[in-house]
A and B are shown apart, each in its own frame.
Chain A
Amino acid sequence: MGRTLKSRLEVAGIYLVVLIMFAVILYPLLWAVSISLNPGTSMFSSKLIPDSLSLEHYKWLFYDPRSDYVLWYKNTIYVAVLNALFSVIMVGLVAFVFSRYHFAGRKNSIYAVLLMQMFPVLMGMVAIYLLLNLVGLLDTFAGLIIFYVIGGLPMNVFLVKGYMDTIPRDLDESAKMDGAGHLTTYFRILFPLVRPILAVVALFTFMAPFMDFLTPRIILRSPEKFTIALGLFSFINDKVGNNFTMFAAGTILVALPIAVVFLILQRYLIAGLAEGATKG
């Protein structure tokens, strides 16, 4: 009898902890939603449970002539698609070479890439700014995309290489035996097999421009070229309390699709990540 009571108490305790965590997790998220639905632009007057709900901030983002929100969204999608595309192409090929070829300097180049992955890109921001200025790529999407693709390359290469190493080499060696060239081997044999991890890379690189405000802040200058994160940051950067409702509304429209995609794909994400980390 005492045993079941103890067990019940334990389960109750677990549920209590879970409930507290629910509250802690959901409170800021719900708060942001409620702010975005509050009428008026000031955070001072807003309440957790608003007296009246209003969609005025969402409407403002889309219809007000002073709002660049739609433009920012378009810019971000443009950058994100190209970033994902080029990243997947380059990362796949480089990982393929690292995983499958013996060549003089292989070990040293892997060391070099590993080392580069360790240094935060932020450390060289001044130089990036001056360099892009010198070659005329400052304030262009091309500059931003090049920076994203190359800057993220080292880390992504290791993710994919680790995954590729787990695929038996017999497969591509027998393809070589049958006379397949380098690229044929990659695209016909290995590419289909590493698609899961490349999908992870594509997702990460696609999402990066939505969340990163720092790089665009340094590379992009004109407001009509802003990406969404930079644009939203500019809402609240100057005067904290005043535009916060607009910021909240704009944020929710970005966070919602990302969160949904993430929750749907998280199972594959974890599997891919764990695989790459333990085997890489």
Chain B
Amino acid sequence: MQIQQAATGGPQTLAGPKPRTAALLSVIPGFGQYANRRYIKGTIFLLLAAAVGIALSAPIVNGIYGLITLGSNPETDDSRTLLVEGIIAVLLLALFTSAYALNLRDAYRDAAKRQEGLRIPSVRQAFHDSWEHGFPYFVIVPTFMLLTMIVIFPLLFMICLAFTNYNLYNSPPAHLLDWVAFDNFAALFTEGVWTKSLLAVLTWTVVWTLVATSLQIALAFFLALLVNDARVRFKKLIRTVFILPWAVPSFMTVLVFAAMFNDTFGSVNRDVMSIFGTSVPWLTDPTWARIAIIFVQIWLGFPYVFTLVTGVLQSISKDWYEAADVDGGSRWDKMRFITLPHVLYATAPLLIMQFSYNFNNFNIIYLFNKGGPPVPGQSSGATDILISWVYTLTFDQNNYKMAAAISIIMGLVVALFAFFQFRRTRSFREEGMY
């Protein structure tokens, strides 16, 4: 170390402390900066550290203590609040630890610079520099703090809940919660009702996602091809009507559909099915309910894909088809070798997003039939997908622990999906370009 300094630094190397010494002094924030003769910066660091230490060390320690015990006295402690405060304490601790690490690094770097004989910028200069070079952080850091509170914190909370015994019968403020390790997951995979429900919901979630999305894409593609035919007139009118289901808020159309499919007084049975002299139990029979809900999703979802495909179809150059005509290609050939590749290439990312959208399509499932009809011997309804089941467990049955455990399973599925999506996303392939 010393030899190296002597070799590179020259006579002025003695101007300040060794980088390592400065970093060591900064164990108390600011002292290393003092040693570097950066008095204003050192004072700011010292004051900040003191303020944080005095004001927040007690809450952080209490928070983490509360997180571990989840309260000891049911009359004064609310385990949920303790859990929230505990997670916030852990997040704050992580934040301050990284700030502390930055303080050490700062002292080390400044000392290193001094030893190399570089002039260290004044505080004012440093402020200007930090705006100039640190601009991205001024935007990103606050954004991430907010995202942490609104997106990450709730996920952490949910993960914690999965390892507690929080349900309707054991809920704060009357009772205290306890950590139960993997009991909830064990119940999910061994207890009859839960295993049966989980299997049923998983199966239906997969079937629902694949069938509803594929059918809505297939119908959209088929219709877009038909309407794009050169012989068809009134194209604009047809397209406008076809977009209507997308334009009307789906929240409302689903509720209208729910009323229309009502077994006793819904208009589907009264006006349409009565023509054939039958009446179908749309909302009370599992199979019919599933058929109805897939139908409604196709109705709601095809216009988006239709519009996308139409846009691509219009942009395919006519030369391709003329060339195919010259070569004697049949209609099917043109479709297979020109139209399909063009459309798929341009819309594939959006089509994949449709699948993940339907996987999480809570609105239609819940609003149409609240996941029902109920199935005997199961905690979930016949049309419940994972997310709607979680919602029902949380807000209707107050079975928070199981809802949280199922959420984690769902999170794993999402993460797996995300992993594959990442590798396909173009942003990342182009990342090296800038």
Contacts of B415 in A (CB 8 A): 115, 118
Instruction: Output the least CB separation between B71 and chain A (Å).
Output: 15
Any chain A CB within 8 A of the CB of B338?
Answer: no
CB pair A270 B155 closer than 8 Å = no
Contacts of A44 in B (CB 8 A): 265
Interface size on B, residues (CB 8 A): 90
From A24-32, A63-71, A190-198, the one touching the partner chain is A24-32
Contacts of B150 in A (CB 8 A): 128, 146-147, 150-151
* Nearest A residue (CB) for B257: A28
The A-B contact count (CB < 8 A) is 238
A188 CA / B430 CA spacing, docked (Å)? 27
CB pair A259 B267 closer than 8 Å = no
Which of B231, B403, B414, B421 sits near A119, CB closer than 8 Å?
B414
Interface size, A (range): 35 or more
Contacts of A177 in B (CB 8 A): none
A93-B139, A116-B147, A262-B247 known; A270+B308 contact, CB < 8 A: yes
A77 CA / B140 CA spacing, docked (Å)? 29
A274 CA / B343 CA spacing, docked (Å)? 12
* Nearest A residue (CB) for B262: A240
One digit per residue, 1 when the CB lies within 8 angstroms of any chain B CB and 0 when it does not, for chain A 114-135 equals: 1110111111111110110010
Instruction: Output the least CB separation between B151 and chain A (Å).
Output: 5
Q: Tell me which residues from 254 to 271 in chain B have a Cβ below 8 Å from any Cβ of chain A.
A: 255-257, 259-260, 262, 265, 267, 271
8 more contacts with CB within 8 A, not counting A115-B418, A123-B411, A153-B143, are A14-B226, A29-B253, A31-B260, A126-B403, A127-B154, A151-B150, A182-B135, A280-B425
Using CB atoms and an 8 Å cutoff, list the residues of chain B in contact with chain A: 80-81, 84-85, 131, 135-137, 139-140, 143-144, 146-147, 149-158, 161, 223, 226-227, 229, 231-232, 238, 240-253, 255-257, 259-260, 262, 265, 267, 271, 299, 307-308, 311, 346-347, 349-350, 353, 356, 360, 362-363, 387, 390-391, 394-395, 400, 403, 407, 410-411, 414-415, 417-418, 421-422, 425-427, 430-431, 434
Using CB atoms and an 8 Å cutoff, list the residues of chain A in contact with chain B: 7, 10-11, 14-15, 17-18, 21-22, 24-26, 28-29, 31-32, 43-44, 48, 90, 93-94, 96-97, 101-103, 105-107, 109-116, 118-128, 130-131, 134, 146-147, 150-151, 153-154, 158, 161-162, 165, 169, 182, 207, 210-214, 229, 232-233, 236, 240-241, 244, 247-248, 251, 254-255, 258-259, 262-263, 266, 270-271, 273-274, 277-280
